[in-house]
Structure 1
Amino acid sequence: MPISHQDKLNLLKDILNNHQMDCCGSVSECEQLKRLVKSLMVHPSLDEHAQSILEEIYKYSQHGINSVHLDNHIESHQNELTQWVSDINQFT
């Protein structure tokens, strides 16, 4: 059974929140973020602002996957992580 659009947004927020609060994460979490964002970007009611945020999160996850020091990558994006979670709350 596929998960709903809202469930995907909640999962996205949960992972981003964990990265923001713990200042660490895993490559598999970044891969999951990437998959979630790709599936959310095809939603028909997605506005331009939401699309832009998802593109930023996609780039963040892609760089995290390829990062030698993932925890440093996460730490350097603390402000963005907080903003993304806040933004996602606006369109959920």
Structure 2
Amino acid sequence: MPLTHQHQLSLLKDILNEHQTECCGSVAECEQLERLVKSLMVNPNIQENLMSTLDEVYQYGQSGRNSPNLDNHILSHQENLSQWVDHVNSYC
């Protein structure tokens, strides 16, 4: 059974929130962020004003996956992570 877009948004928020609060993460989580965002961006139920945030999260996931120091990458995006969590949370 596939995840609904609400479940996907909730999972996205959870991963971003964990990165923000724990200041660490894994390459697998970055890859999961990319997959979630790709799926959400083609979903017609997603509101247009969420698309820019999804695009930013996708870029964050890609950069994190390729980063030589993922923890530093996460630390350098703390403000963005907080904003993204708040924005995604408003749709959950």
Q: Please classify the TM superposition score into its range, dividing by the shorter chain length.
A: over 0.9
Percent identical among aligned pairs is 61
Q: Give 1:64's aligned residue.
A: 64
Q: Give 2:2's aligned residue.
A: 2
After TM superposition, the structure 1 = structure 2 runs for residues 67-86 of structure 1, keeping only pairs within 5 Å, are 67-86=67-86
Task: Please tell me whether the aligned partners of residues 5 and 45 of structure 2 are also in contact (alpha carbons under 8 angstroms).
Answer: no
Gaps of 5+ in 1: none
1:18 and 1:10 map into 2 onto residues whose CA distance is 12
The amino acid that maps onto 1:12 is: L
* Number of matched pairs: 92
CA positional deviation for 1:90: 1.5
Is 2:67 the partner of 1:32? no
Q: Over residues 41-64 of structure 1, what are the superposed CA-to-partner deviations in whole Å (9 max), with x where a residue is unaligned?
A: 011133332000000000000000
- When normalised by structure 2's length, the TM-score is 0.96
Comparing 18-27 with 37-46, greater Cα deviation is found at: 37-46
Q: Over residues 16-66 of structure 1, what are the superposed CA-to-partner deviations in whole Å (9 max), with x where a residue is unaligned?
A: 000000000000000000000000001113333200000000000000000
Q: Give 1:89's aligned residue.
A: 89
The amino acid that maps onto 1:62 is: Q
Counterpart secondary structure, 2:32: helix
Gaps of 5+ in 2: none
After TM superposition, the structure 1 = structure 2 runs for residues 9-48 of structure 1, keeping only pairs within 5 Å, are 9-48=9-48
1:32 and 1:56 map into 2 onto residues whose CA distance is 15
- Deviation above 6 Å: which 4+ runs of structure 1? none
Q: Give 1:55's aligned residue.
A: 55
